Amino acid sequence: MAEAPAFDELFRLAKRSAVHLEMRDGYMQSDPEYVAWRNGSRGTSRYLDQATSPWLALMRDTTGRGVTIRRARIVSEPVTDYIRFEHHVTTGNVAAGEQVRWLPRRRASDIALPGNDFWLFDDSLVVFLHFTGDGELSLDGDEERTADPAVVRLCSTAFESVWERAVPHEEFEVT
């Protein structure tokens, strides 16, 4: 049996699309980039550096092949400090070709959502991401993959419902 492709390889294998739904108000708060930002550093961040960021290079390469990458974030308002940071560094994602939208949580109440954040590749493979209560990646297995058609349909429908209501990054203001 062949070994499953590494997470970053899924982007290289994508033919049409990769969509990501984020539903938490904080992630990886131990991240040195976030800690520096929280302490007042608003200068250079590896999340903004198009020349050296492996993630941004992967996004540029993927979108450069014609694959559409969309990311939607459901956030509580007022937003948390982490979401303010995430909004700040999202300009790097957008510059690398990602389309990003934000949906205030109060506008998502009637949308059926899966229990975890996910990536959906080519409307055929879902990768759920598992986090601890404080937003760190779970040590018990940070991802779960499925091609189950019912799960794919749930995730696709949820993402498209969020995307339709969400505000484009350039128009979403954090306070």
Q: What is the CATH number of the domain that holds 128?
A: 3.30.870
Range of the domain at 20: 16-171
Strand pairing report for 117-121 and 99-104: unpaired
Question: Model pTM greater than 0.75?
Answer: yes
In a domain? residue 9:
no
Spatial separation of the C-alpha atoms in residues 159 and 149, rounded to whole Å: 15
Q: How many C-beta atoms lie closer than 10 Å to residue 140's C-beta?
A: 7
b/e 47-63 (16+ beta carbons within 10 angstroms → b): bbeeeebeebebbbebb
- The count of domains in the chain is 1
Q: Please report, in tens digits, the pLDDT of each residue of the chain (175 residues total).
A: 567 899 999 999 999 999 999 999 999 888 988 998 888 887 667 777 888 889 999 999 999 999 999 999 999 999 999 999 999 999 999 999 999 999 999 999 999 999 999 999 999 999 999 998 888 788 776 899 999 999 999 999 999 999 999 999 999 999 7
- On whether the CB atoms of residues 163 and 23 are closer than 8 A, the answer is no
* Helix 54-64, helix 81-95: angle, nearest 10: 50
Strand pairing report for 143-146 and 99-104: unpaired
Nearest-Å Rg of the Cα atoms of the chain is: 16
